[in-house]
Structure 1
Amino acid sequence: MFTKSRFAAAALMAALVALPATAETRVTYKSAKAGTSYYQMGVQIAEAMKAGTDGNIIVTLEEGQGSVQNVMEVRARGGDYVFTTPPALVGLAQAGKAMFEGKGDPAFDEIRALFPIPSLTMHFVMSADSGAESFADLEGKTILLGKGSFGATEGEKYLGLFGLDGKVTLSDAELSNAVAALKNGQIDGFVTAGSWPAPNVIEAAASTDVKVLSLSDDQVAQTKRTRLTIPAGTYAGQDSDITTTSLPVVAYATTKMDDDTAYQLTKTFWEQKAEMTDSAPWWKGVDTDLIGTIEGKIHPGAIRYYKEAGIALSDAQM
């Protein structure tokens, strides 16, 4: 027969067995296609979360098929889902517009921001031999835009905005061949969008003399994109700042994620950012000023961290 003390001990043991071995939290992070800079950023974030939380948060990286698909998956995912996308796409999803027309879902209204990651930054890279110093100089030149990417679509848009429709020869080659084609004189320049410093621009500048074009204030305004400055010295031979445009990219969760997990993810990201910058310079482009580019609401758990850190948020983000 159990005594009261033996009964209490047995109950305590049963309770302990029922508890998980650790307080480990698992999160799925969905970004971009394998082999891209944004996929590599996901690898770094996963490593940073493990290191910064002593293994209490484990991030599993999933290959993404694009920002639109990342948003669409919110409909079927749970509270462990973190994904990256430009804020503009979240707004379109919530409004049921453009590529989300007829595909609206109440789950889109529950999307909440955590922290910014490196922006998609436009680069118009010209060979020094082309003599191009400004967009006006692109007339008669051969430019590689690539196919199907944000950079290709945006680059084509800029050529139209700046009066270059029909005045530039567009190369049919893939963007992966851009650096070799530039070195061989097959093209005069190429357009690419990604984090800065961009790996293909670093490669181009290291192997041949290039000029990355700057946009004027009027041209930036015409694009309706976010102005961004690439500091002098970012690329070989770059003696002055480059004024260009960017599309902010943000890591999101939903209200299904508990506040403590969102808080820890956000806090750890900012605390580990300096270490990530040491291993990949594209994190230099991320600072707290980018929080202002987040359109829409921020997760309550992330808001807690930003308030603790003294970072101002807008009423629309709260």
Structure 2
Amino acid sequence: MSNPHRRGGRFGGRAAAAILAAGALTMAGCAADGTGDLTLATGSTGGTYYPLGGEIASVWSSELDDVSVTATVGGASVENLRALDQGEVELIMSVNATAAEALDGVGDFADQPLSSPENIRALGNIYPEILQIVTTEASGITSIEDLRDRRVEMGPAGSATYTMAESVLRAYGIDPATDLAATLDSSFGDAATNVGDGVVDAAFGILAAPTGSIEQLATTHDVVMLDISGPELEAVLAENELLSAHEIPAGTYSGVDEPNATITSWATLYTTADLDEETAYELVRVMYEHGDRVQHSAARDMVLETAVDGLGPVELHPGALRYYEEQGVEIP
């Protein structure tokens, strides 16, 4: 069954001014002269994109003259790419593997391809996106196989979480449409709450690790993180070369004393070729040179050493490329 949840909420602190629920702005702002307003589409309030994007937008707005960046709640990877393609926003956060699918017109974009996928440009990686599958000891679930006939949060429709959850379940021989008792599509904050309340048995989320929603769940419940391993892991990785195996260290979450085997990709910043070169250059420069001002744990991974890893078929924006070349970053 479907149980969509309304997105909303407020994010406190100095990033609050950068996060508005306003509609998207036009592309006119920074298309030509490098001045004006830009909108950054992020994700749901319970995930990593929204608070992290608000922090990055706040730093950009304070460091760059004549440029103001507003971070908004977004539908995450798939919906963000569609919004970028339609000119509704100028900047987005998206999983790199999903952006590669958009460019190639496969996966979620096979039936509804973008109108101008060749216009998408990468600015740089932000942090590793880690698939986390959480349940509780009380559920009796100890493996992905145990999800059969259970109630599972798969992430919002159009998100990379939903796509990856479907891929993982199918690798284990589970058809979400017929083999689960129910599928829900809440944002991850609501999904984690639903796990704790017993509304669902488990939830998928693509997030930084640790993430606050799971940390909070672990304060009131014995949390269990489900592994992806063996031939099923190899099957998932074979589907998408931009995914890789990952291990969440033991102790990342309270009570989870064993490492968690899973998969990861990159959360990447994207724009289009319409953004002028100097603005793109400055956005990338500030993001990496002033990353220490971003008050979010995921910002520790926002470093030049991994800025251009796993970009796949998406071209770098010329402004970003110029900055990386000046910094001696090796471009794949």
TM-score band by shorter chain is: 0.7 to 0.9
1:1-318 equivalences in 2 (<5 Å): 25-33=35-43, 35-37=45-47, 38-53=49-64, 55-74=65-84, 77=87, 81-97=90-106, 99=109, 105=115, 107-136=116-145, 138=146, 142-146=150-154, 148=157, 149-164=159-174, 169-171=180-182, 175=186, 178-183=191-196, 187-224=200-237, 225-276=243-294, 279-287=295-303, 288-289=305-306, 291-295=308-312, 296-314=314-332
Contact 1:25 1:57 in 2 (8 A): yes
Contact 1:26 1:60 in 2 (8 A): no
**TM score, norm. by length of structure 1:** 0.74
**TM score, norm. by length of structure 2:** 0.71
1:173: how far off? 5.6
Contact 1:143 1:168 in 2 (8 A): no
Q: Distance in 2 between matches of 1:208 and 1:68?
A: 32
**Residue of structure 2 in register with 1:9 after alignment:** none
Contact 1:145 1:170 in 2 (8 A): no
Q: Distance in 2 between matches of 1:115 and 1:131?
A: 41
The change in CA–CA distance for 1:229 and 1:81 in structure 2 (over 3 A counts) is same
The change in CA–CA distance for 1:256 and 1:185 in structure 2 (over 3 A counts) is closer
Q: Which runs of 5+ in 1 are unaligned?
A: 1-22
Q: Distance in 1 between matches of 2:262 and 2:164?
A: 12
TM-superposition CA deviations, 1:268-288 (whole Å, max 9, x none): 101222332xx2223345443
TM-superposition CA deviations, 1:179-208 (whole Å, max 9, x none): 455445565433233333233211211211
Residue identity opposite 1:203 in structure 2: Q
Q: How many correspondences in the alignment?
A: 286
Q: Which runs of 5+ in 2 are unaligned?
A: 1-32, 238-242
Q: Distance in 1 between matches of 2:84 and 2:324?
A: 24
Contact 1:126 1:132 in 2 (8 A): yes
Residue identity opposite 2:232 in structure 1: Q
Q: Distance in 2 between matches of 1:165 and 1:75?
A: 31
SS at 2:252 equivalent: coil
1:243: how far off? 2.2
Q: Distance in 2 between matches of 1:75 and 1:190?
A: 30
> More helix per residue: 1 or 2?
1
Identity %: 23
1:158: how far off? 1.9
Residue identity opposite 1:258 in structure 2: D
Q: Distance in 1 between matches of 2:262 and 2:71?
A: 31
Q: Distance in 2 between matches of 1:70 and 1:89?
A: 10
Q: Distance in 1 between matches of 2:139 and 2:308?
A: 38
Return structure 1 stretches of 4+ with deviation > 6 angstroms: none
Q: Distance in 1 between matches of 2:85 and 2:227?
A: 40
Q: Which moved more, 1:80-89 or 1:220-229?
A: 80-89
TM-superposition CA deviations, 1:101-124 (whole Å, max 9, x none): 57554x432322111233443211
The change in CA–CA distance for 1:25 and 1:241 in structure 2 (over 3 A counts) is farther
SS at 1:293 equivalent: coil
1:96: how far off? 4.2
The change in CA–CA distance for 1:251 and 1:234 in structure 2 (over 3 A counts) is same
1:49: how far off? 1.0
Instruction: Please say which structure displays the higher CA radius of gyration.
Output: 1
Q: CA RMSD in A?
A: 3.4
Q: Distance in 1 between matches of 2:172 and 2:37?
A: 44
TM-superposition CA deviations, 1:123-155 (whole Å, max 9, x none): 11122234544435x266734224635434432
